[in-house]
Structure 1
């Protein structure tokens, strides 16, 4: 096989490379394959960029199509006109800020709005935030002190908060290894008041001590070291502490805002339909909405039954009635559906005597 000589000049020096014909053929094929791969990659990137550019260009159109800045038609213009309602709104915002631990912002709002918040209302939020901040830093002592002080009231609520706190403190001792074995055994005495209700959990905790020398993470009890327990104890403390203090777990302002976000698109749609059909007198500024809006079970707070047929809330004069098939409708709906002394359930094909329906009480 012959040789091919190539001279490459670089600056003042000249280098000579000799290739065999076979080597040059392999090099040529490799270069061709590389060029092909580069071309395919460039085409792929261009195609992906085209898809992304198309999606981004549609965002503005989607916003213009779905977002209506004019929402005054679905809001009563005089809803916040009275000083009393403005005071309620300011107090709700202040309470939300206290819940979030934004104490300085809440104080500034009180000064600027003239709202006077009693210290008895402020103190529970200060204590809750102090304890929650300690829990986020994995410090259980303030929460344990609070739980022990309110033990009887927590038991009256069937709360297991104190046991969960003691359990988590015991697990934190297990994290220290064999050096904390004696301290863990001594701390196990705190489980005595909960032995009857949490016997199985206590047995698991005590059984983990056998593997302390080799490490709990290498034992069948490694699930005790899950990190999500700290988030769970924060949620448990917030829920039980709020129940003990007579407060809602979630901020009323947050719930109202979230409900408004879900309800607003529906209200905007019905407003558009009313305007297109030129219906007058349907949309009013009273305390009721022109349509029923389902906010999901998360926003169910009252045991009020609405008839699924007439879409009306039941009352003493129009109570809910349970049919033989198990479905429940209002008495007015039952009377309207009765035909020739027979009633056919609107949800299933069962026919029955209307007199067999029984009134139920919530």
Structure 2
């Protein structure tokens, strides 16, 4: 590594530092030493003080310009030193720490086994049992038999829903009704299953009897009356009462996975989707080309050093920031909607409630909201 450019830049900086034009005190000292005494004598001799002081101010302004000009050249020379150092001594992070080594992916036995487990689990969650058995033969891994039973049940019920048979799904929802009704995310799956059965019945009298037996219990939370009266009219293809099984199958899959603690989506599919179609890999590779080794090893990043636009379905964290506390909402401090419609964090609203009162004034409008009226929001 050559030091010639660094030495030349340092010499230029030292020359500027030694010159009186780049000193912050030299021009001012000259004004004081050379002009202040003269000005004093002129005033004592009878010269108009206003004129003498004006001339002294003009000299001071010229000295200020000299200081600014000198400092500008000095800072430019200092910047050249930094550029020369970066050019002559490029960072070699891999020589500093083994953390910056970049070995091929999954060469380690534990990492390779972890990848195989992820692929096997993904095949099982998709119900591709022929592929699961072939994968088990090629590796020493085995799919959890209990999980296989659950996965087979899931896909059997999903196939029934897609075929228009809702009995198995309703039976499962009945067996798990306590879980589906539990807060903080009570599910409307049972209503939508019975709604699908109701819409599939062509005989109006039979449909009304089914609604009376299974749908009116949901009147407090669902538009049951609108649904029931819809059977009096014809159903167009774009009608909100058209019986589409695809959303219902997706809703059932979500609740089934939640019931057994599974990810709602296949984790391997999510990673591949974010990396390829989501554009994360392209953004990371571009950052590595532009920033080089200054970003360090990508495997050590705790967060991406650039923004990667993602669709709403791929955003897994709350993006709400309280306008009062400026803090991001959490499960313990969730976003809370006031009676006026404005939203703040729960802790901010609690602090706004004065001692001895049960309500607080909105920070953005005059309307007050009681503690019992504030509602938690879910993003």
- Give the conservation status (yes or no) of the 8 Å contact 2:288–2:295: no
Q: After TM superposition, give the deviation of residue 260 of structure 1 in Å.
A: 1.6
Gaps of 5+ in 2: 1-99, 322-327, 329-342, 344-379
Work out which of the residue numbers 250, 263, 287 in structure 1 matches 2:300.
Answer: 287
CA distance in 2, matches of 1:105, 1:85: 21
- Give the conservation status (yes or no) of the 8 Å contact 1:216–1:222: no
Work out which of the residue numbers 254, 265, 277 in structure 2 matches 1:250.
Answer: 265
Q: After TM superposition, give the deviation of residue 128 of structure 1 in Å.
A: 1.1
CA distance in 2, matches of 1:75, 1:168: 57
Is the alpha carbon distance of 1:280 and 1:238 closer, same or farther for their aligned partners in structure 2, counting shifts above 3 Å? closer
* Deviations 1:241-289, CA, capped at 9 Å, x for gaps: 2222211211100111112221221222223324xxxx55544254217
C-alpha RMSD over aligned residues: 3.2
Q: How does 1:136-147 map to 2 (within 5 A)?
A: 136-147=162-173
- Give the conservation status (yes or no) of the 8 Å contact 1:94–1:109: yes
Is the alpha carbon distance of 1:78 and 1:133 closer, same or farther for their aligned partners in structure 2, counting shifts above 3 Å? same
Indicate the residue corresponding to 2:124 in structure 1. Answer: 98
- Give the conservation status (yes or no) of the 8 Å contact 2:219–2:225: no
SS of corresponding position for 1:217: coil
Is the alpha carbon distance of 1:77 and 1:283 closer, same or farther for their aligned partners in structure 2, counting shifts above 3 Å? same
Q: How does 1:1-362 map to 2 (within 5 A)?
A: 76-156=102-182, 157-173=185-201, 176=202, 180-188=203-211, 189-198=213-222, 201-209=223-231, 211=232, 216-217=234-235, 223=239, 225-227=241-243, 229-261=244-276, 262-274=279-291, 280=293, 282-284=295-297, 286-288=299-301, 291-296=305-310, 298-302=313-317
SS of corresponding position for 1:159: coil
231-240 vs 153-162, greater mean Cα deviation: 231-240
CA distance in 2, matches of 1:79, 1:304: 32
Is the alpha carbon distance of 1:299 and 1:287 closer, same or farther for their aligned partners in structure 2, counting shifts above 3 Å? farther
- Give the conservation status (yes or no) of the 8 Å contact 1:153–1:244: yes
CA distance in 2, matches of 1:301, 1:113: 33
Q: After TM superposition, give the deviation of residue 304 of structure 1 in Å.
A: 9.6
- Give the conservation status (yes or no) of the 8 Å contact 2:121–2:143: no
Paired residues in the alignment total 217
Is the alpha carbon distance of 1:137 and 1:255 closer, same or farther for their aligned partners in structure 2, counting shifts above 3 Å? same
257-266 vs 295-304, greater mean Cα deviation: 295-304
CA distance in 2, matches of 1:239, 1:146: 13
Is the alpha carbon distance of 1:160 and 1:269 closer, same or farther for their aligned partners in structure 2, counting shifts above 3 Å? same
SS of corresponding position for 2:239: helix
CA distance in 1, matches of 2:250, 2:286: 37
Tell me the TM-score normalized by structure 2.
0.51
Gaps of 5+ in 1: 1-73, 307-313, 315-325, 327-362
Is the alpha carbon distance of 1:76 and 1:149 closer, same or farther for their aligned partners in structure 2, counting shifts above 3 Å? farther
Larger radius of gyration: 2
Tell me the TM-score normalized by structure 1.
0.53
- Give the conservation status (yes or no) of the 8 Å contact 2:230–2:241: no
CA distance in 2, matches of 1:92, 1:75: 25
CA distance in 1, matches of 2:195, 2:304: 52
Q: After TM superposition, give the deviation of residue 82 of structure 1 in Å.
A: 2.6
* Deviations 1:154-174, CA, capped at 9 Å, x for gaps: 11141000110001100000x
